[in-house]
C-alpha cells in the first residue's frame, strides 16, 4: 500500500482526505465528513483535497472580504500510533467559520483506528473532540481540538493544534493543513502525534 499524504509528509497524516472537485477528480470513497469506517481508502477523496491545498494546486483564498458564516465538513487524522507505529486515527470534522468575527467553532467525532499496513479497521473509538480558539486571518486558519476518546475501555486525552489555510476549489471554499499535538493514555505519558485535516463547504 502506498502511504497517503498524511503518512508521507512530516507533520501531516490525515490518512486520506480530498474534495470531489479537485484537480485529481472525484472518485470512490466516502464523501467529505462521512466516515464509512471500513477501510482507510474510504478517505482517499479527503486526502486528495489536502494534497491539492498543501502543494498549491488550489489557490489560497483570502477571506478578508467574506461575510457571514460557512459550515465545512471533512476529516482529521493522526498517524504512526501504537507500539509499532502502524496505526492511524481518523474521524469526521466539522468547521463552522464565522467571517464576521474571524472565528471558528467545530468538532470531530466518529473516530476509527486503522491498520496502516492493511488499510483495515483495527478498532472502533468512541468520544468526540471540541474545537476552541478557532482564528481566521485572511487565508490562514488555526484552531485547537481537545477531548477524551475511548478505545478498548481505555480513555485517551487528546489535545491537537490545527494549522492550515483556506483555498478555492472551483468556487467552493475549502480548508486544510497540518495537525500536531499529544495523546495521553492510561500510563499518563503524553505521546507526540502529527497528522492533517481537510474540509469543504
The per-residue DSSP string of 76-95 comes to EEEEEETTTT-EEEEEEEEE
Q: pLDDT digit string (tens) for 118-166?
A: 989 998 899 999 999 999 999 999 999 999 999 989 999 999 999 999 9
Query: What is the spatial distance between Cα 157 and Cα 134, in angstroms, rounded to a whole number?
Result: 20
Which residues, including other chains, have CB under 8 Å from residue 27's CB and lie 6 or more apart? Answer: 44, 45, 48
Q: How confident is the model at residue 3 (pLDDT cuts 50, 70, 90)?
A: very low
Q: Evaluate whether 169 touches 18 at the Cβ level (below 8 Å).
A: no
Out of 22-26, 112-116, 158-162, pick the least confident.
22-26
In Å, the largest CA–CA distance within the chain is: 48
Q: Which three cell numbers stand for residue 53?
A: 491545498
Amino acid at each position: 500500500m502506498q502511504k497517503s499524504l498524511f503518512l508521507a509528509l512530516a507533520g501531516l497524516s490525515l490518512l486520506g482526505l480530498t474534495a470531489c472537485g479537485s484537480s485529481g477528480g472525484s472518485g470512490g470513497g466516502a464523501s467529505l465528513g462521512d466516515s464509512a469506517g471500513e477501510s482507510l481508502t474510504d478517505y482517499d477523496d479527503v486526502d486528495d483535497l489536502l494534497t491539492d491545498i498543501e502543494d498549491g494546486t488550489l489557490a489560497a483564498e483570502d477571506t478578508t472580504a467574506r461575510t457571514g458564516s460557512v459550515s465545512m465538513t471533512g476529516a482529521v487524522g493522526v498517524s504512526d500510533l501504537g507500539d509499532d507505529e502502524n496505526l492511524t486515527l481518523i474521524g469526521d470534522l466539522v468547521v463552522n467559520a464565522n467571517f464576521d468575527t474571524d472565528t471558528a467553532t467545530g468538532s470531530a467525532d466518529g473516530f476509527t483506528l486503522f491498520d496502516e499496513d492493511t488499510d483495515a479497521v483495527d478498532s472502533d473509538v468512541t468520544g468526540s473532540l471540541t474545537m476552541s480558539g478557532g482564528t481566521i486571518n485572511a487565508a490562514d486558519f488555526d484552531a485547537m481540538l481537545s477531548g477524551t476518546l475511548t478505545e478498548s475501555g481505555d480513555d485517551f486525552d487528546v489535545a491537537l493544534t490545527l494549522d492550515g489555510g483556506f483555498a478555492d476549489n472551483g468556487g467552493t471554499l475549502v480548508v486544510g493543513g497540518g495537525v500536531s499535538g499529544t495523546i495521553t493514555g492510561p500510563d499518563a505519558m503524553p505521546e507526540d502525534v502529527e497528522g492533517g485535516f481537510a474540509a469543504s463547504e
